[in-house]
Every structure is written in structure tokens, then in C-alpha cells.
Structure 1
Amino acid sequence: MENGFNLISLITTERSKGTIVWLCNIGAEKYWSNLSAGVVNRQEDIAVNRMEEMNLLICREQDIIILREMPDEDYLSNLRKMGFSIPTILSPENADLLTPISELVLRDEGLLNKLKEAAEKNNDLYFNPYGVTHLEEEIAQKTGMRIMGAPSHINAKINDKIFNREISEKLGLTVCEGRVCNSADEIREEYDKLTNSKPFFSKVIIKEPKGASGKGLYIVDSKEKLESSLRMIARFSRGRTDSKWLVEGWYNKKGDINYQIYVSPDGEVDVFSIKEQLLRDTVYIGSKMPPELEQRVLDSYMEYGQKIGRYLYETGFTGVAGIDSIITEQDVCIPIIEINGRFTLSTYISFVNQILKDKKILSRYFRLTPEKTVNYTDICSKLENEGLLINSDNKEGIFVYTSGTLPYKLHEGTDGSVGRVFTLIVSDSWENVNVLNSKLEKIMEAYSK
């Protein structure tokens, strides 16, 4: 099947074929970049690492998923009730909640042997990580699993915002006003140009090439903020002479649009899951599916995805990529704000309508800082008592789709109780989705100090 391997087909129309070994190695970006991580909150990192559970939303029964901890039993039971398939779940021995999952796998000879045995017994077994770094390549080499996705050095190149801008320019796509800067003086010069020349921008954004999840982005709306941002940039770049930054105008937007593409090993491009994203400043907090966009706009995104996918294939890229774009207040589409040459949080919810069947869906993410710890059952019980928990029969209500991200226990050396809750708000109408969302927000407020 390798030459004809198509991930999208396998998780949609050909679900009985082959076996996929899933590994949600969130944080892969740090292996593609030598930028400083800055201040680290260990409790936040635990919640981020446990987002691996959302990978279960796209698994098939015959698949294998590697998770650092077994999920909450109530959570697995609810997934089954909703109609999701639960694969074989493997966990590394002596797993902690902070070490990157791929490092844990490589330390566990017993787990590596299990994966090697599975690969030897099954010619149609494929290793599909969230992102490919040298660690996943080493896992594949030690186990004999066929890794699906571009080599690590290609992924590092694709996940570079400056390279993303170059792709747009080469393909003749509209780009943001701005340029690549090589020094603090050039950043100051571009800031002055963007804020004092037509079109006038009230804000400017400075981007580190390989920042991810809202990190490495500096929104500047004054000279004072510019100088403080430059001091921070200088501290994190630590005097490196090869540093570059992308400086662009900040647009007022009608919409933040994410679209996903899959580039198969033979170069076939699938464009899937066009979503309206909800952002707070530059941080993702949810998605709207399907998007309320005119058909001509949806068609244009299909064309952009095909064009970008073919270009990426020529560079050596295969696998899933998530592309962020914007539509400005002037109805101008900027097709590439950035490309993530890997899975994104949005990828894992891209196929839920196979289960939920033509519903309106709003995904919402909340950061929780409760005074007392709270677990998956607590959250679901609260929603059920309020009449908001999803009904597995009519598929209406609020579905909590991770359990391990919740601040259900404190860990030695961590800073207080911090967690995240990921939900899908599901209904037949956007009006009811909005009502449910308002009620959910009020409930979530009670879990924040």
C-alpha cells in the first residue's frame, strides 16, 4: 500500500485498511529550531503534553496509539458511546509528564520491541507522528516501522515563517505588507514605514521564523512597545548574528481561516477541513465548522491548497500541513500567514462530522486555573447537571474531548493547578451553538481564580 498510501482515505472511506501507529509528539518545533524557549511553566507543559489524547478522535480500532498515560476510563467510555473507535493504547514504562513522548519511547526497550514485532507481523503498518523530527526517525529505524511524512530537515524548512512568505511570493499569492529584517535597526525602520506610510497600520507584528502556538510573536502598537520587544528579542536570540525576523503590518480582519492539506507520498494533494478560527490576540482558542463563507471563497481556498500542496511536494514535503490565512476587512484574502508542516490541534477535530453527522460545531478551548483540582468526571457532571452535556443519541450538546489536560492533580515542582479543557459545542443551528457557548463560558469562569 505504501505507494498508494493516503492518510485521508484511511481515516475516512477506507477505515478497515492497514494499521497506523499514532504518536502525538506535540512540541516537535523545538527540535527544528535553536531558539530559546524562554520562561517555562511546568504545569502548563504537562497540560500541553497531555493534549496527545485528542489523537484518539481519528484512530481506528485496529490502530495503535502511544500515550504517556492511560486516559480516564470515563473519557474512553464516552468516546465509545459517541461512536469513536478505541485503538490499542501503549504507554512507555516509567513515563513522566514532562519528558517529550518520543524520548520516553526511545528509553523503553520493551515498547520498542512491541512496535518492532507489530511491524514484522504486518506489512501494512505505518508510523504517523504529529511531526517528524530526528527522534521519530530514530524510533522508525529501531522498530522497522515505515514512517509517513517528510524527513525532519524538510519539516524544519516548511515550519519557517520566512520560507512561508517566500512560497507566497513565488506562487504569486497576496502577502502581508512588510519584509524580512536582519537587525534591530531594520526592524525599527520597517516599523516606521508600516505605521507612517499608506496603507497605515496601527499595529505591527514581529515574528520569529520558527515560533509556534503564539510564541515568538510580538504585537507592537507604540515606539515604547517596540523597544521593549526588541530587548526581549535580543535576550532570546542571545547575540546570534544569523537571526532574522519577519515584520508585517497587523490587519483588521473579517476572518482567520485555517485549511488543512495532505500531500501523499505520490504527490496527490487533498484539501480538507476549511475552518474559521477563533483567536485571542495570536493564540488559538477554537474553530467553527463548517465555516460561514461564500462558495466562491471556499472554492478559492481549495485552489490555494492544491497550488501550495504541489509546491510543497516539489520541495520534498509529504504529510499533513495546516495553513493559517486571513480575510481582511477589505475582503482581501492573504492565503498564507504561516504553514505548519505537521498536524495541528485543528487536524484532530477535522473528521468529527463522520460521527456527528452534518452538525454545526464550535470547538472551544479554555485555560483553567481552579483553586481545587478538577477531573474529567467533575467537568462532565457539571455540564450534565446544567443540561448541557452532549446526548450520544441526538448528538446535541457539549462534548469534552480530552481528559488528561485537566488540572486534576498537582505535581511536584509545578506552579499551582493549571489545566486546559477542550470542548466541541454541537447543534443543528448556529443560534443554539451560540447559546450553549455562552453558558459554557460562564461555567468555565468558575474554574478560574
Structure 2
Amino acid sequence: MTSDYLRAIKAALTGSPATPLALVCNFEAEARWATNHVGLPAAALSASTDVVRRMEQLGALLAGPDDVLIASHDLDPGFRRYAEELGFSLPEVLVPSRTGGSTTENAIGSPELLKALHGRQLLPMGTTVDEEKLADAAGIPLAVPSADVFERVNGKIYGRRLVEDTGLRPVPGHTVESVAEFDSTLHGVSGTVVVKDSYGVSGKGLVVLDSPAKVQGLRKLVHRRASRTGDDRLHVVVEHWLPKRCDLNYQFTLARDGSVTFDFVKQALTEHGVHKGHIMPAELTETQHEELRHAADVVGARLHRDGFHGVAGVDAIVGVDEVLYPVLEINARLNMSTYQGGVVERLVPPGHTCLARHYPIGDSGFADVRRVLPRDVVVTCFGTAAAGRLYTMSFAPDRASLEALDAATTTALESL
């Protein structure tokens, strides 16, 4: 049975809650959007291709029985039986017959897979030129906008300008589009600042400058590259470091007609700027909740004006002084939290707290993992276990119990 959560997304994006979809969880989309933009001159940090491709299976618990999931690997049979026992009606997984490229590229070169997409709409995590080509090759429409729209609205520079234009409370900072602007900006700031690539994600393309030596070191690298390449462009944002109580992530769905549905807000768990998971409900006052809902309406209106519709996740922070900064970054695409919505609806009891995170894991079969996991811990993606990660969601009556369950899960998986 399709979740109410997915039916609402389908209705907003396609006009009908029953539209059959073809999902592709192309987590590499940001890297494609970044192609025409110049970020920081630092070594690229990225998850292995195997991890990224196996994360595609997160889409299995979002999609419904009338949908299909395009992925490089089929679901583990034990995991499929387990999910069905939990009450999920899983989609058919279509594995491309061609290999050698990304999952989307391989799907384009797989004639039988293309035939199986007829009568559906394509819902990628975010549209790049490859997903446009896949939709064209299959003769099906996209449920979301084109690649140029996604690229335009997902840059951090776009997000900062949106905040400034609409009067939302901004994190103090600056946008930079050239080496000269970078020099001028750094010359005028004091204290710790964070420099972020406009298209960086999950801690990649992010540098904390907390000393004059680090500032001068980064400036030298920027100038050296510009001199070598003859390219003076630099697309980054520079933000002042704010002492914070917590990171937040909230999601809204923007329908084709411009209406905004506030889906949820979660407290984000991060380590050195890298996303580690989410906990909900977030510890917020009702006033802070209202501020987030207002921000979602404002951001949604601007995104719609600029041609976007779809699911959008927004990062925010609460300072140690309890001041809310409602838009730190806009991710106008599906995100990790999106894939958890059906699990929350089906399995998390009202009033309970919930933790979504991944754990390191050795080479183990699903039966062994299921045997050692504590009760109230749900596996949401087993495919990544082959690459050393196990994605889960846990739930408990309160945070103290949830912390104990988290610790017990770590111990159980270490026993494998």
C-alpha cells in the first residue's frame, strides 16, 4: 500500500496521487551541477562510487508497489522479505543491463529497462542533463523541472541572495564570484569564517578559517590556481561562524501551482560539517516552528517564481542565544530525510522520538544483522552494507531511551 506521504508528493508533482513513478536516486547530482562553477582549490572529497550507487536502494522504502526504482543493484532477498513483513509494498527494482557509467547512463543504454518505464513519470533525486536524456530515451515526462532550473536554484549563492531579497534573517556573510571579490571580502572580516563552495555538499568544499595563517594560505591557493588557469572566477559564500545550539533540516513540498506543504523539521546530526543523521522531533519552541513555516512559504514562493516545483530541504541553525537562522542552505531536491517519510508514517508511534543514522558495519549477511539488532531498530538500506555502512531508523519513547538504543545498536553491530 502506498503511504499517504508519497501520495501527497505525487499529487503535488504530477496532479494525481496515483501517478506511477520511476525513481532514480542520483546522489551524484550536485557534482554535475557544479561542473560550470569554480569552487575552492582543494582536493575533492567524495564517497566511493560503490557507496553512492548502493545508497540508491534508500528509494525502495519511499516508492510504492505501482512504482519502479532504477538502481545498479537489486535488493537483498532477505531485506525485501523483512521490509514486506514490516508492511511495506515495495517497488520493482530495475537494474540496467549496461554497465560502465552512472546508473542513469547505464539505464539509457538498456532497451528493456527503457520499455519498462512506459506510462510513468521520472522522479530523480535531482534533475541533471543525464536524467533529461533518460526521460527522452524512455519517452516519458519528468515529474520535476529541467536540469538548468535545478542547477540555478541549488547553488549557495542563489540561496544567500534569496534570503537577502526576501527579508529572512540571514547568517552574516557574503557572496563571492571572483578572486578579487574574495580578497576584498576576506580583508574586511574578523573572527572565524566559513568558506563554502556554492555547490559543495556534506562537508565537501568547506573550509573553516580561524587564524590569519589559514586565511593567507587559502588566498595563496586561490591566486595560484587563477594565475595557472587564467580563470578569475570563484563561486563561494563566506559566512561568519555562529555559536549554535543545533542544526536543523526541514522539508517542504512545492506543488506545480505554487502551493507549499510543510512536511517536517528534524534536528540534524553533523560532525565537522558532514551529515551523520537526523533526530526528531526537533527541540524547538512553537515560535521557532512558526518561523520555519513562514520561511518555507517565502522560499517556496521564490523557487516557484524561478521555475521550480518539487521537494526541497532547507538547512537552518539555532544559535546558543536561541535566535533562529531559517535558511543556511537550500537543497531544492530530494534529500536523505525524504526517503524516511514512509518509514516514519508506518512505524514510528505518535509521541516517540526517532533517530535516523548510519553505522559502520563489516561484511555480514542480512540474517546476521537482523539477528543482532535491538528491537525498534529498522534497517532502511542494507545494500550499503557491502560498502561498510548500514542505514537505520530507531525509535523510543524519549531521548534518553533513544540514546541507550543507539549505544546498544553500535555494540550489537560491532559484535559482527
Fold shared, TM-score > 0.5 on shorter chain: yes
Question: Which of 145, 152, 156 is residue 151 of structure 2 equivalent to?
Answer: 156
Structure 1 equivalent of residue 256 of structure 2: 265
Structure 2 equivalent of residue 393 of structure 1: none
The separation in 2 between residues aligned to 1:328 and 1:43, in whole angstroms, is 30
Question: Which of 116, 127, 131 is residue 132 of structure 1 equivalent to?
Answer: 127
1:277 deviation in Å? 0.5
Question: Which of 55, 71, 77 is residue 75 of structure 2 equivalent to?
Answer: 71
Structure 1 equivalent of residue 3 of structure 2: none
1:231 deviation in Å? 5.2
The separation in 2 between residues aligned to 1:17 and 1:170, in whole angstroms, is 37
Mapping of residues 412-423 of structure 1, within 5 Å = 418-423=387-392
Residue identity in the other structure for 1:23: V
Mapping of residues 159-308 of structure 1, within 5 Å = 159-184=154-179, 186-187=181-182, 189-191=184-186, 193-195=188-190, 201=191, 203-230=192-219, 239-308=230-299
Is 2:357 the counterpart of 1:355? no
The 8 Å contact of residues 11 and 60 in structure 1, kept in 2 or not, is answered as no
The 8 Å contact of residues 288 and 362 in structure 1, kept in 2 or not, is answered as yes
SS of the equivalent of 1:293 reads: coil
Instruction: Indicate the percent of aligned positions where both proteins have the same amino acid.
Output: 26
Is 2:357 the counterpart of 1:364? yes
The 8 Å contact of residues 11 and 18 in structure 2, kept in 1 or not, is answered as no
The 8 Å contact of residues 69 and 95 in structure 1, kept in 2 or not, is answered as no
Structure 2 equivalent of residue 17 of structure 1: 18
Structure 2 equivalent of residue 102 of structure 1: 104
Structure 1 equivalent of residue 397 of structure 2: 428
Mapping of residues 268-417 of structure 1, within 5 Å = 268-356=259-347, 357-358=349-350, 359-367=352-360, 370=362, 373-383=363-373, 388=374, 390=375, 397-406=376-385, 408=386
The 8 Å contact of residues 214 and 282 in structure 1, kept in 2 or not, is answered as yes
The separation in 2 between residues aligned to 1:313 and 1:435, in whole angstroms, is 43
Aligned residues: 402
The separation in 2 between residues aligned to 1:143 and 1:134, in whole angstroms, is 14
Query: Can you list the C-alpha shifts for 1:219-268, whole angstroms capped at 9, x where unaligned?
Result: 12122333444455567875532223211111111121111111111222
The separation in 2 between residues aligned to 1:236 and 1:145, in whole angstroms, is 43
The 1:435/1:42 distance shift into structure 2, 3 A limit, reads closer
1:435 deviation in Å? 0.7
Q: What is the TM-score normalised by the length of structure 1?
A: 0.82
The 8 Å contact of residues 132 and 155 in structure 1, kept in 2 or not, is answered as yes
Query: Can you list the C-alpha shifts for 1:340-367, whole angstroms capped at 9, x where unaligned?
Result: 1111111111332211132321112234
Query: Can you list the C-alpha shifts for 1:395-423, whole angstroms capped at 9, x where unaligned?
Result: xx2122111111x3xxxxxxxxx522211
1:77 deviation in Å? 1.3
The 1:166/1:445 distance shift into structure 2, 3 A limit, reads farther
The 1:321/1:380 distance shift into structure 2, 3 A limit, reads same
Is 2:24 the counterpart of 1:31? no
The 8 Å contact of residues 375 and 403 in structure 1, kept in 2 or not, is answered as no
- Point out where structure 2 has 5 or more consecutive residues left out of the alignment: 1-5
The 8 Å contact of residues 366 and 421 in structure 1, kept in 2 or not, is answered as yes
1:428 deviation in Å? 2.3
The separation in 1 between residues aligned to 2:49 and 2:218, in whole angstroms, is 24
SS of the equivalent of 2:287 reads: helix
The 8 Å contact of residues 124 and 131 in structure 2, kept in 1 or not, is answered as yes
Structure 2 equivalent of residue 3 of structure 1: none
| RMSD between aligned residues | 2.7
